[in-house]
Structure 1
């Protein structure tokens, strides 16, 4: 008996695939294969191949239910104010950007057809034609001008106001052409506008409760801090998309509860689960884990503008007290790379590998704690499930401190309200930073003296000047040199301790198809709903 098929062609493969789509039973399919000259063993091979081929093709229909880990009553549908992953996911389903980053980190056009500039200071943006908002109004240059210009209005409270400040002029040249003028040259502008906050909204919008965008889905329900439901935009400008009929997104802050909701069938997708919760998935049929390695990290922030962080020796002691290898091995279960206390990850072309992380050295840590006068005193450290793996990290650091007489009082606070009440506020606390595509964005958001998310209140005039210099240079080698120096400064001088760059892990039903990695983070850079489909 042979396992080869005689006289079998690609057309025959197509015939089997079509039969599968029509719902033919396995017995009927094998009968068809045998009639075509296949032996039983070979028939099974062809059937398996055909089944995989059908599964790989997008299927329209179905409701996709997903759960994220962060939520707040301040959840918003205004892209300018988005700050949590829940905001990004919802906004990505309702709106589009001028550009986006593909799975390789390359900037691609979305609502823009082209970005052109001779000097990286004055940019001409050509818009796609035939794009409409959910209410039927056509997209025009006025919408783009309004969307970008509002980031400069203090009353809006844009999370990227500092980044947007470099855009000093906006002009609607005609209905499909926009001219953007920068204060200084910036070759990264097309990439910067791929940030989720720069999604395009309709000219004059002040009420964002309807989520009226040009995106793949139309809003049906939105309960801040609870859930949202969106349905397929039948007039979407991207042909054939989306595949899903509807998408429901909720937040379940506890990792184990999120996974249990997946296993029970309440949801199809559990975002960003920690290594402990991963064990619940292990060996379970019908479920998968999706790993994305990007620039995501959880950091321990010591504010330099208040005690105990105002004492430089205390900060130095904490950096020596962090056992990075143990954190990657135990807290992250190996799903991460050692961090060196600066935000530009090894995945970024500007990463400076010469900036070495502080080695775990309890003796040096004790020396600095003694010098600071704080050895033996109880120091509060705020941790929460809201910041991925921060509780496990805090426990490891606490144990290391106890061994040398440094009392770290780890205070575990609820995930609900963490970002509003503790992040950026507590003297020592954890943060969780999503990936950003360029060093300019990372430094502008997190380390410039006027950065909106300056977690340790790091201030340096020299750093600020270097940031402007690197931004304006069109010499890639020079930019790399400057960014490398800035990484060294942050690693040594700032109060942010970045033990590791975390590999994000999402858990999902095997019926969910189309998921790919994205450099902007898990859930396909938060834009997954547009690209996924459910296996029939």
Structure 2
């Protein structure tokens, strides 16, 4: 297979992360001020380790104190970060990254290719528990070629590979003698982490030697606090204790919009709230049971009553309607008690009783969602026993362990990333324990398919398989709803690859 540079550039544009929304900023960025952010999720098990499984607290820290090799600009297009440029081989199996020169860690250490190699290798190998392990599983070798070049070899072609290096976990940390201190506070990001308490707070000051202070690092300092209680978080904003909150209590949106000098923003995204089932655990190992459970959910009711209209109905696969690879021909699954009974009958069941373990840490509104689901399912012959779990440690105790639970997923970097992370059998975050050889075959095939139309057909088939056979019950895609003081400003367009501008609210926003 031949692959010209022009074709590569066209391919990069084709997979650009262009799912961004926003309103126009009032003024150009300026320096100064102290930003106080309150977020809804954090856990005492959170750490600085980029191979751990963080929630919002941890993701913000990765985006604030550290850097990935590539990133996305305000329009969602792939841009250089610590890698200044990149070049694939003609067969798409070797990628050369040219590193930005003169980048220093907060400690003063100069970043080298060895730091990059060792940081990427943290997420590789049999013993790693990194969520990014599956993204790098096709990598056969990572090596330094001098102080400022890294060569990455793949076992098979991947047109999207460089996009995967945007993943939040793939930050670069300092290394010594081939080892990375995974819990170090040291990074190359626009802010120095001055102090932190696991899952509770973070405090930063601007790093004056950051490599791009023209576009990042406008606040003098910033802090993040975790306030899980919705009312307390909203009160902290109204009383002036914080400047910015995420996961606005949707019932309070009309009231917040009437508060002087507070601005509420509603941003459509590809983030979804899901109810994953373990497909290797009875009764979820029977697809007839899975289909019965999918038809027992009234999605529009959840959008109306839980999201209060701040989102759209999901369709049991992970690709957002605005994604260019979304298959619009897949019929929207609706609540249908007759089909519930039909599939229960095919499974040889007259009725069904199952547990559902949820917490607000799974996603905001998960408890109300579960109760609505239990009510609609009961009318169709399924009894769902809802257990509310404690929020703390939910993702360590419940997710990936209980056979039916609640979880959220941010918008995928690429379709390849989502199917690789969540639906391949060896993926650490395969939350449904799904193992379908056809899915694996199609994911690998899409990576080497240059023609965008042909690649779209592959992704369409993947969506249909997950929709018809997978263990994901995806009730709804969710808008990000933030509230902030009116003097907190942001770029005209924001990333929807994660909450609060792809978690870069401290890195990219400013204060008027």
Per the alignment, residue 121 of structure 1 pairs with 93
**1:159 and 2:131 aligned:** yes
Per the alignment, residue 85 of structure 1 pairs with 56
Larger Rg: 1 or 2? 1
Per the alignment, residue 201 of structure 2 pairs with 227
Q: Secondary structure, in 3 states, of the residue corresponding to 2:413? A: coil
**1:171 and 2:143 aligned:** yes
**CA distance in structure 2 between the partners assigned to 1:81 and 1:381 by the alignment:** 25
Deviation at 1:156, TM superposition (A): 4.1
Task: Say which structure, 1 or 2, has more relative contact order (CA 8 Å, 6+ apart).
Answer: 2
Q: 1:298 aligns with which of 249, 273, 294?
A: 273
Say if 1:187 and 1:472, in contact at 8 Å, map to a contact too: yes
**1:97 and 2:68 aligned:** yes
Q: Secondary structure, in 3 states, of the residue corresponding to 2:367? A: helix
**1:425 and 2:401 aligned:** yes
**CA distance in structure 1 between the partners assigned to 2:166 and 2:337 by the alignment:** 43
**Mapping of 1:12-411 within 5 angstroms?**
56-119=27-90, 120-204=92-176, 206-240=180-214, 241-372=216-347, 378-386=353-361, 387-411=363-387
1:54/1:203 CA distance change after superposition, 3 Å: closer
TM-score, normalised via structure 1 length: 0.86
**CA distance in structure 1 between the partners assigned to 2:36 and 2:285 by the alignment:** 46
Per-residue Cα deviation, 1:204-235 (whole angstroms, up to 9, x for no partner): 35434442111001111111121111111111
Deviation at 1:79, TM superposition (A): 2.1
Deviation at 1:450, TM superposition (A): 1.4
**CA distance in structure 1 between the partners assigned to 2:370 and 2:499 by the alignment:** 24
Q: Secondary structure, in 3 states, of the residue corresponding to 1:130? A: coil
Q: Secondary structure, in 3 states, of the residue corresponding to 1:480? A: helix
1:464/1:286 CA distance change after superposition, 3 Å: same
**CA distance in structure 2 between the partners assigned to 1:221 and 1:236 by the alignment:** 19
When structure 1 is superposed on structure 2, of 254-263 and 421-430 the one drifting more is 254-263
1:375/1:298 CA distance change after superposition, 3 Å: farther
Q: Secondary structure, in 3 states, of the residue corresponding to 1:196? A: coil
Say if 1:402 and 1:408, in contact at 8 Å, map to a contact too: yes
**CA distance in structure 2 between the partners assigned to 1:409 and 1:152 by the alignment:** 39
**1:524 and 2:501 aligned:** yes
Per the alignment, residue 462 of structure 1 pairs with 438
Per-residue Cα deviation, 1:357-398 (whole angstroms, up to 9, x for no partner): 222111221333355465555422122111132222212211
Q: How many residues align?
A: 483
Per-residue Cα deviation, 1:106-157 (whole angstroms, up to 9, x for no partner): 1111111111113221111111122111111112211111111221134442
**CA distance in structure 1 between the partners assigned to 2:74 and 2:336 by the alignment:** 39
Structure 2 unmatched runs, 5+: 1-23
Deviation at 1:166, TM superposition (A): 1.4
When structure 1 is superposed on structure 2, of 252-261 and 270-279 the one drifting more is 270-279
Deviation at 1:424, TM superposition (A): 1.4
Q: CA RMSD in A?
A: 2.0
Deviation at 1:61, TM superposition (A): 2.0
**CA distance in structure 2 between the partners assigned to 1:156 and 1:452 by the alignment:** 9
**CA distance in structure 2 between the partners assigned to 1:464 and 1:435 by the alignment:** 21
Say if 1:294 and 1:435, in contact at 8 Å, map to a contact too: yes
**CA distance in structure 1 between the partners assigned to 2:203 and 2:167 by the alignment:** 23
